């Protein structure tokens, strides 16, 4: 299989061709594509650069403030002491960062002078604006580009950047995301999100009659809505489950679906983190299933007419189908993932490892 070709079920559909992945993304959101063609939103004109100390050697590129992104990209800051570091984000996120920071708006087209001593970038990938700009800077300045895995991998995940070093949840994930590429290196660090969930394992017990919580995934491009919506409808009706919308379910079609479910008597879970909910957790392919299992909660997967890749996904992550034994808790790594990521950064910026 060539680097720009389409992979088999053993890896990504687009193992190295980011533009092909973007075309696929656009093709999966027809309504959004038409809307964007009318609005033609402008590309971000500037980003917020946060600098702590003088001449930082590492740049953390943050595209979103979701729990998975914060855990994977920003948690390692807590293990870098007072070392000079920089963070680039779409907006000012200094309130979420430890220590005192200088913040300025910068042009994404050119690496700022404040980053002249940078040797490494840490991001969730180069498929969104901030990570993409940081990758362009890294290529121009010969910085090492580290990608931290931030969620479970489907065959429709964006490809890794050229020459990247992947910090993966597991060896199996590393092999899957590389998809046969020889230009990408990797090491296993585990998942900070799952580590944090395991810290609270057994902290509380839900009432025995607590209804299941179904994790919504209407926003996902990987599955047609006819499958994701039909699965949620069938499960919530059959088991009295509470529907927990994904934070990205804010488009008009999702809001219409939510209103329809409410008219049909389907109840919704309250807002807040997954850890604040009670009852078993069920989803099609959400990271939340493993997060719940890591926290000691019963968790399963289910799907109406699951495609082959969904079944492969369930097998790869050892997710249990509803009706059988609950999903086992993932193996907890010996070293906290955020600390391991910080160690990888130090190895490049302080010890000169490439």
Which of 342, 337, 339 minimizes the C-alpha distance to 198?
Answer: 337
pLDDT band at 335; cut points 50, 70, 90: very high
Q: Are residues 112 and 181 in the same domain?
A: yes
Q: Are residues 65 and 181 in the same domain?
A: yes
Q: Which residues contact 272 (CB under 8 A, 6 or more apart)?
A: none
Does residue 55 sit within a domain? yes
Q: Are residues 241 and 142 in the same domain?
A: no
Q: Are residues 100 and 245 in the same domain?
A: no
As a whole number, mean pLDDT of residues 11-22 equals 96
Residue 126 has a pLDDT of: 97
pLDDT band at 243; cut points 50, 70, 90: very high
Q: Are residues 50 and 154 in the same domain?
A: yes
Asked if 218 and 96 count as a contact pair (C-beta separation under 8 A), the reply is no
Does residue 285 sit within a domain? yes
What range does the domain containing 243 cover? Answer: 199-316
Q: Are residues 152 and 118 in the same domain?
A: yes
Q: Are residues 28 and 140 in the same domain?
A: yes
Residue 165 has a pLDDT of: 97
Residue 227 has a pLDDT of: 96
pLDDT band at 38; cut points 50, 70, 90: very low
Residue 202 has a pLDDT of: 67
As a whole number, mean pLDDT of residues 189-196 equals 95
Q: Is pLDDT above 90 for 350?
A: no
Q: What is the dihedral of CA 113, 115, 118, 120, to 10 degrees?
A: -130
Does residue 1 sit within a domain? no
The number of distinct structural domains making up the chain is 2
Higher pLDDT, 45 or 107: 107
| Percentage, residues of the chain above pLDDT 70 | 90
Residue 273 has a pLDDT of: 87
Does residue 150 sit within a domain? yes
Residue 324, number of CB atoms within 10 A of its CB: 8
Q: Are residues 75 and 39 in the same domain?
A: yes
Higher pLDDT, 303 or 34: 303
CA distance 155 to 14: 8
Q: Are residues 117 and 176 in the same domain?
A: yes
Q: Is pLDDT above 50 for 1?
A: no
Does residue 3 sit within a domain? no
Q: Are residues 38 and 182 in the same domain?
A: yes
* SS (HEC) of the chain: CCCCCCCCCCCCCCCCCHHHHHHHHHHCCHHHHHHHHHHCCCCCCCEEEEEECCCCCEEEECCCCCHHHHHHHHHHHHHCCCCCEEEEECCCCHHHCCCCCEEEEECCCCCCHHHCCCCEEEECCCCCHHHHHHHHHHHHHCCEEEEECCCCCCCCCCCCCCCCEEEECCHHHHHHHHCCCCCCEEEECCCHHHHHHHHCCCCCCCCCCCCCEEECCCCCCCCCHHHHHHHHHHHHHHHCCEEECCCCCCCHHHHHHHHHHHHCCCCECCCCCHHHCCCCEEECCCHHHHHHHHCCCCEEECCCCCCHHHHHHHHHCCCCECCCCCCCCCCCCCCCHHHHHHHHHHHHHCCCCC
Residue 204 has a pLDDT of: 56
Does residue 324 sit within a domain? no
Does residue 9 sit within a domain? no
Which of 26-30, 125-129, 144-148, 188-192 shows the lowest per-residue confidence on average (mean pLDDT)? 26-30
As a whole number, mean pLDDT of residues 267-284 equals 92
Q: Are residues 246 and 342 in the same domain?
A: no
Higher pLDDT, 2 or 265: 265
- Residue-averaged pLDDT of the chain: 90
Higher pLDDT, 213 or 276: 213
As a whole number, mean pLDDT of residues 280-289 equals 97
Residue 32 has a pLDDT of: 47
Q: Are residues 148 and 207 in the same domain?
A: no
Higher pLDDT, 5 or 117: 117
pLDDT band at 205; cut points 50, 70, 90: low
As a whole number, mean pLDDT of residues 36-42 equals 42
Does residue 8 sit within a domain? no
Residue 203 has a pLDDT of: 61
As a whole number, mean pLDDT of residues 268-293 equals 93
Residue 354 has a pLDDT of: 54
What's the pLDDT tens digit per position in 222-240?
999 999 999 999 999 999 9
């Amino acid at each position: 299989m060539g680097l720009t070709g389409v992979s088999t079920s053993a890896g990504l559909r687009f193992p190295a061709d980011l533009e092909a992945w973007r075309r696929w993304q656009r093709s999966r959101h027809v309504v959004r594509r038409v809307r964007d063609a009318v609005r033609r939103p402008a590309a971000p004109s500037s980003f917020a650069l946060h600098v702590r100390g003088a001449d930082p050697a590492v740049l953390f590129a943050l595209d979103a403030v979701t729990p998975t992104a914060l855990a994977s990209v920003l948690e390692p800051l807590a293990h870098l002491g007072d070392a000079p570091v920089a963070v680039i984000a779409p907006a000012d996120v200094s309130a979420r960062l430890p220590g005192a920071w200088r913040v300025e708006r910068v042009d994404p087209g050119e690496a700022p002078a404040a980053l002249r001593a940078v040797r490494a970038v840490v991001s969730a990938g180069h498929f969104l604006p901030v990570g993409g700009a940081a990758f362009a800077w890294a290529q121009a300045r010969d910085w090492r580009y580290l990608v931290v895995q931030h969620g479970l991998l489907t065959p429709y995940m964006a490809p890794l950047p050229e020459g990247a070093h992947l910090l993966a949840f597991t060896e199996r994930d590393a092999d899957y995301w590389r998809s046969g590429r020889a230009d990408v290196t990797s090491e296993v660090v585990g998942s900070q999100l799952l580590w944090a969930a395991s810290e609270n394992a057994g902290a509380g017990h839900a009432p025995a009659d607590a209804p299941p919580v179904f994790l919504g995934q209407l926003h996902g491009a990987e599955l047609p809505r006819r499958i994701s919506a039909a699965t949620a409808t069938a499960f919530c009706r059959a088991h009295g489950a509470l529907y927990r919308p994904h934070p990205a379910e804010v488009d008009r079609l999702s809001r219409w679906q939510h209103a329809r479910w409410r008219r049909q008597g389907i109840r919704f879970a309250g807002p807040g983190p997954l850890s604040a909910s009670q009852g078993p957790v069920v989803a099609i392919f959400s990271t939340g299933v493993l997060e719940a299992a890591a926290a000691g909660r019963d968790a399963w997967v289910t799907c109406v007419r699951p495609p082959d890749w969904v079944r492969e996904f369930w097998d790869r992550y050892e997710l249990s189908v509803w009706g059988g034994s609950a999903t086992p808790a993932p193996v907890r790594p010996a070293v906290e993932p955020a600390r391991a990521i910080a160690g990888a950064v130090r190895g490049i910026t302080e010890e000169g490892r490439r």
